[in-house]
Structures are given as structure tokens and as C-alpha cells.
Structure 1
Amino acid sequence: MPKIEPFEHFYKRYEQWFEKHHPVYLSEIEALKKVIPEGKGIEIGTGTGRFSVPFGIKYGVEPSLKMAQIAKNRGIQIVRGIAEKLPIKNNQFDFVLMVTTICFVDNLKKSFEEAARILKRNGYIVLGYIDKNSPLGQFYLEHKEENPFYKYATFYSTEEVVSLLKETGFGDFVFYQTVFKMLDQIKEPEQVIKGYGKGSFVALQAKKLF
């Protein structure tokens, strides 16, 4: 079952996070800018549209009714659905964006297969996520029972994500990273550097190969 409950009940807290940690949010946006291609895009797990809006993404899939309504109010065309069974025809988009979505799906491999299905030939998947092996990832794992969102999350290392993407037909990987300190220590946007393994937030681009 999709992990909708915390997003239905704590959608205001979700929104407040972006205000409280605005420099972190800006850092993540800057990292994602490095890997988002041109073309027609869709965000899977749109949430309230905090990542679709800055990149001009007009389409989204979101299972939470409360979150979807906020995204609609921000001008995004939302369809209700889950990543493992997208209500979208084949070969529709130039890129798929998933930000902090991979830790909330039930079946990550199936989610990547569905992303590949709706992508055009040579389309791209773009992911933004907290690396399980990073300082922030380890902190979330240790304290996940205290957080209404991450209580239900499954965290992945970049190596695990890449392995599943390869299995589902993706390659030509590009990585950028940011968020090098704990959240409360970040008072201004962090630098963005290529690769992964140092920053807690990873922005990944992979190309649909077949």
C-alpha cells in the first residue's frame, strides 16, 4: 500500500519544512538544476509541487489527496496514482523527476520500470534523494521512529539505486551532490559538486537505454 497517511495528516508540517530549512531546499534545487534536461517532464510523487514549480514541470502523479490539491493550486496538472502503476500511456515524456520519492514506494524496481515505460526513447530519469550512507541518511535511520514521514521510509545507498536502475534499462549516469552539514547547521545554500559520497543529498540523472 502507498505510504499516504503521514502526508494526509501532516501536509502542513511538510510545507513548513521548506520554510524552516529554506537554504537546504535551495541547495537541493541547485543540485537538481545540473541534471534536469530540456523537454516535457513529469514528477512522480509531486507532493505539494515544491520541486515541479521551480523547473516548470506541468504534470505530476501524487497519491495523497491533500498534497495533490496544494500542487494543483500551484498550477500543476495532477493525476492520482502510485509510482508502481502509473496511469499514463507509454512513451509520453522526455524526463521523469522523482525527489525524495524513492524511499516511500513499496517496490522501487517496479517504479523504475514504470518510469521507463512512460519515457520517450532516450528519455531521462532524474532522482533526488538522501543517500543512506551519508551523515544525514544515518541520522534519519537512527531517528526514523521520531519522524512522522521517515518512520515509513526505506532509505537506499547510491550503489543500490544505480543497481536497480541498470536492471530496468537505464545507464549513462551523472551525479551531483550537496548538503554537507546537518540541517540545523545550514544557514545559507550549500555548494554543489559533481559525484556522490560526500554530500547527503544526491541528484542523479540516468538515460533510458532500451
Structure 2
Amino acid sequence: MAKTEPSFALFERMADRYDTWYERNKVIAENEARLVEEFPARPPSVEVGAGTGYFASKLGVDVAVEPALSMLTRAWRRGVEAVQAVGENLPLRSGSFNTVYIIVTLCFLDSPEPVVEEAARILTRTGRLVSCIVPRDSSWGRYYTELGRMGHPLYSVARFYTVEEMNDLFAGVGLNPAKIMGTLSFKPWEPPRPEEPRPWRPGADLGFVCVEYRWS
């Protein structure tokens, strides 16, 4: 999900290519889904920046939010209850969701702070927020960053974060990490293989990491 008009238009145009990534990279996608499912939804649940609904459909969230209509249409086809809105201004009541997901969304935001603030606003005091990223300092983060430098239409507009940087973002709204797990221990140039999620530790070279945040 992106705030600026150029990024928004980019995701509108690239919905097909974005969505077919999951089929073209099935083993990687299934590893990522397996990790996300380690953080099951406790209703009511929402995914902010749901894209084409791949993860939302796996998690069975109650509602998903996505600004790009072409992406939203594909989420509907997956059976996801989705609404068109931007993460900076969620049409959802404060303190109304027990589980909030932000999955591979922060890296495509011009400014993540407003989305983080909105996600925290709709979270119940006993709820949990789960955010998943490709860490910038992982082999996969460096690989995607290099693809961006070479002109890849999506990765060229992405700004990747380290796990520590993401933790700082959420600490700014009073949310602290309670559980951190990751996957994709193989390198981008190695044959992909199915693997089980594992606990993340500083220095771990895992290409997809999810953090569960709770209120202080």
C-alpha cells in the first residue's frame, strides 16, 4: 500500500504481475504463509495493506484494507472481505480489533508513521499487532535492494527496514515486540526449499520476519 499518487498508480498497474508472483515463487510464498500462520488471527481481525489478499485469505481475517482497486478486486476473488481505503486514514473504530496485520506494507510507504499510528489506534488494549518485513540487512533484503537499483518497477520504490528499525517505529506508539519469528534461511541464488518458521535472533539471516507487538 502506498500513499503518494505515483506509487498508488504503480500498484494499480501492476496488480497482475504482483499477484502472479505467488504462483511463480510458490515454495517461497508457502514458506512465508507458513510463518504468518504462526500468528493466528484472534477476531475481530484486520489486515492493513492487504494487496491481492494472499495472506488475508490464508489467515481468514474478518476484513482487509487496500487502496488499489485492481488489487482489491483480486482479494475479493479470493473470498476476502475487503474495503478500499488508505492506511493513513482507516475507516475503522478505535480499539475495535484484537489482531491487526501489516504484511510487507511498510516498505512501500512514503512515511510509515501515520499508518503505524492508525494501526495502533484500532487495536484493543489486549490485542496484538503483527508486522512482517523483508529485513534490509538480510540476503533477501540486499537482493531486492539491488534489483531496485537496477530498475525493478516495485523494488525501486521500496524502502526496506531492519527488524530493529521496525521495532523503533512501533515503540513510538507504545507497542513492544513479544514474539519474533522468521523464514527463508536459504539465499536468493539457492534453490528454494520448504522450511519451518524459526525464532529470529539479532544477526540471523532470514529473508522474511514477522514480529508480534503488544502494548507496554
Give the whole-Å Cα distance in 1 for the aligned partners of 2:142 and 2:102. Answer: 21
- In structure 1, the residue matched to 2:194 is 189
- In structure 2, the residue matched to 1:135 is 139
Going from structure 1 to structure 2, the CA distance change for 1:172 and 1:201 (only over 3 Å counts) comes to closer
Give the whole-Å Cα distance in 2 for the aligned partners of 1:10 and 1:59. Answer: 23
Indicate which of 156, 160, 171 corresponds to 1:155. 160
Q: AA paired with 2:87?
A: A
- In structure 1, the residue matched to 2:119 is 115
Equivalent residue of 2:142, what SS? helix
Q: Could you tell me how far 1:38 is from its partner in structure 2?
A: 2.3
Give the whole-Å Cα distance in 2 for the aligned partners of 1:187 and 1:163. Answer: 31
Please show how residues 162-201 of structure 1 align to structure 2 within 5 Å: 162-183=167-188, 185-196=190-201, 197-201=204-208
Corresponding residue pairs, total: 209
- In structure 2, the residue matched to 1:9 is 13
Q: Could you tell me how far 1:172 is from its partner in structure 2?
A: 4.1
Do residues 25 (structure 1) and 29 (structure 2) align? yes
Give TM-score scaled by structure 2 length.
Answer: 0.90
Q: Could you tell me how far 1:58 is from its partner in structure 2?
A: 2.8
Q: AA paired with 2:208?
A: F
Give the whole-Å Cα distance in 2 for the aligned partners of 1:166 and 1:187. Answer: 34
Indicate the larger mover: 113-122 or 4-13. 4-13
Equivalent residue of 2:43, what SS? coil
Give TM-score scaled by structure 1 length.
Answer: 0.93
Q: Decide whether the 8 Å contact of 1:96 with 1:124 is kept in 2.
A: yes
Indicate the larger mover: 150-159 or 174-183. 174-183
Identical positions, percent: 29
Q: Decide whether the 8 Å contact of 1:92 with 1:119 is kept in 2.
A: yes
Indicate the larger mover: 144-153 or 49-58. 144-153
What is the CA deviation profile of residues 153-197 of structure 1, one whole-angstrom value per residue up to 9, with x for unaligned ones?
Answer: 111111100011111110242100111223453443123210142
Give the whole-Å Cα distance in 2 for the aligned partners of 1:7 and 1:18. Answer: 16
Give the whole-Å Cα distance in 1 for the aligned partners of 2:57 and 2:189. Answer: 25
Give the whole-Å Cα distance in 2 for the aligned partners of 1:100 and 1:166. Answer: 19
Q: AA paired with 2:185?
A: F
Structure 1, gaps ≥5 residues long: none
Give the whole-Å Cα distance in 2 for the aligned partners of 1:36 and 1:160. Answer: 24
- In structure 2, the residue matched to 1:48 is 52
Q: AA paired with 2:167?
A: V
- Hey, which bits of structure 1, 4+ residues long, moved more than 3 A? none
Q: AA paired with 1:117?
A: R
Q: Could you tell me how far 1:47 is from its partner in structure 2?
A: 0.7
Give the whole-Å Cα distance in 1 for the aligned partners of 2:183 and 2:191. Answer: 11
Going from structure 1 to structure 2, the CA distance change for 1:5 and 1:114 (only over 3 Å counts) comes to same
Structure 2, gaps ≥5 residues long: none
Give the whole-Å Cα distance in 2 for the aligned partners of 1:161 and 1:14. Answer: 24
CA RMSD, aligned part only?
A: 1.6
Q: Decide whether the 8 Å contact of 2:186 with 2:192 is kept in 1.
A: no
What is the CA deviation profile of residues 138-157 of structure 1, one whole-angstrom value per residue up to 9, with x for unaligned ones?
Answer: 11112204321111111111
